[in-house]
Amino acid sequence: MKKLCRGVLCAMLLIISNVFIVSAQDIETDKLHLGIPVIEIANDKTTNLIFPFSIISVDRGSSEVMVQKAKGVKNVLQLKSAEEDFAETNLTVITSDGSLYSFLLVYNHFPFQTNYVLNDMKPFRFKAELHDTNSNEAILFSKSTEVSLRKAFLKKLSKAYGVSIQIQGIYIYNGIMYFKVQLSNNTQIPYNVEQFRFYIKDKKLTKRTASQELEISPINIHGHYEAIPANSNIIVIVAMEKFTIPDKKIFHIEMLEKNGGRNLHIKIKNKDLIKCRQL
């Protein structure tokens, strides 16, 4: 009789536990059907959200959630709970490609996972309208990639001691100019870049005239230009706000070697700029 009672009791407990498990699963499923993924966070563990583009805005629904951008990178958001067992809340993130991400945050002392790579989270991603479309990283990346595949039609070149820099083309799209630059190192000595400068300067200076330079800051540089390995070529795409060169001035592109003397310098005139091609 005791064995029978124990069996009935175990069966009842199993049925009850199954009911609770199904209910919990249904709640999670409902949240996903609404297009809102659930992120579990704890007070003694850091959860990382890794976005495909830079983060430009973060809004948390509760001060009990601590958020910060990871040091040294622009696309990683770190989450942690300030207290144990906080009430469910939300998180909204906007990235530089105009995507808006929305999450539900729940407390779990033992999170199922702590790293979320969000490249493929299309069902939970909405488009936001950015005021400055020229800073849209998705467009800059797409156009820079397109330019990198175009054939060279310019040959503005500077070389010194086996290394060279060449402007192979200038393109324009939506008010942004894209310079296709090839960096070459035909020596056994790697080339480490100290400075990569862009500026406009007077053509000729008299002894009594002070030099005036107008620094031009790129919006984006696509490609790794910081070091050119031995016997290699690198393609770099430099994106800038459109500009022309005033009379009696020249646009300069300058690359200086770190702890070395293989410095490179290209001069570009208006007649070169106006050869730019539409993307």
Residues above pLDDT 90, as percent of the chain: 45
Give the mean model confidence (pLDDT) for residues 20-48.
63
Structural domains in the chain plus CATH codes: 33-131 (2.60.40.1550), 140-278 (2.60.40.1150)
Write down the pLDDT at residue 123: 44
Angstrom distances, CA of residue 72 to CA of 75, 77, 152, 195: 10, 12, 35, 20
User: How many angstroms separate the first and last alpha carbons of the chain?
Assistant: 85
b/e per residue 211-238 (b: at least 16 CB within 10 A): eeeeebeeebbbeebeebeeeeebbbbb
Helices (H) and strands (E) in the chain, counts: 3, 20
Over 50: is that where the pLDDT of 14 sits?
Answer: no
Write down the pLDDT at residue 210: 58
Torsion of CA 188, 194, 199, 203, to 10 degrees: -60
pLDDT, tens digit, for every residue of 193-250? Answer: 999 999 998 887 655 555 677 888 898 899 888 999 999 999 999 999 999 898 888 9
Task: Give yes or no for a contact between 75 and 54, defined as CB atoms under 8 angstroms apart.
Answer: yes
Cα(109)–Cα(159) distance, rounded to whole angstroms?
60
Write down the pLDDT at residue 31: 46
The structure tokens listed for 166 are 């060449």
- Predicted confidence band at 126 (pLDDT cuts at 50, 70, 90)? low
Over 90: is that where the pLDDT of 163 sits?
Answer: yes
Supply the pTM of this predicted model.
0.62
Residues above pLDDT 70, as percent of the chain: 79
**What's the one-letter identity of residue 243?**
F
Give the mean model confidence (pLDDT) for residues 118-142.
65
More confident residue, 90 or 35: 90
Write down the pLDDT at residue 63: 84
pLDDT, tens digit, for every residue of 197-213? Answer: 999 988 876 555 556 77
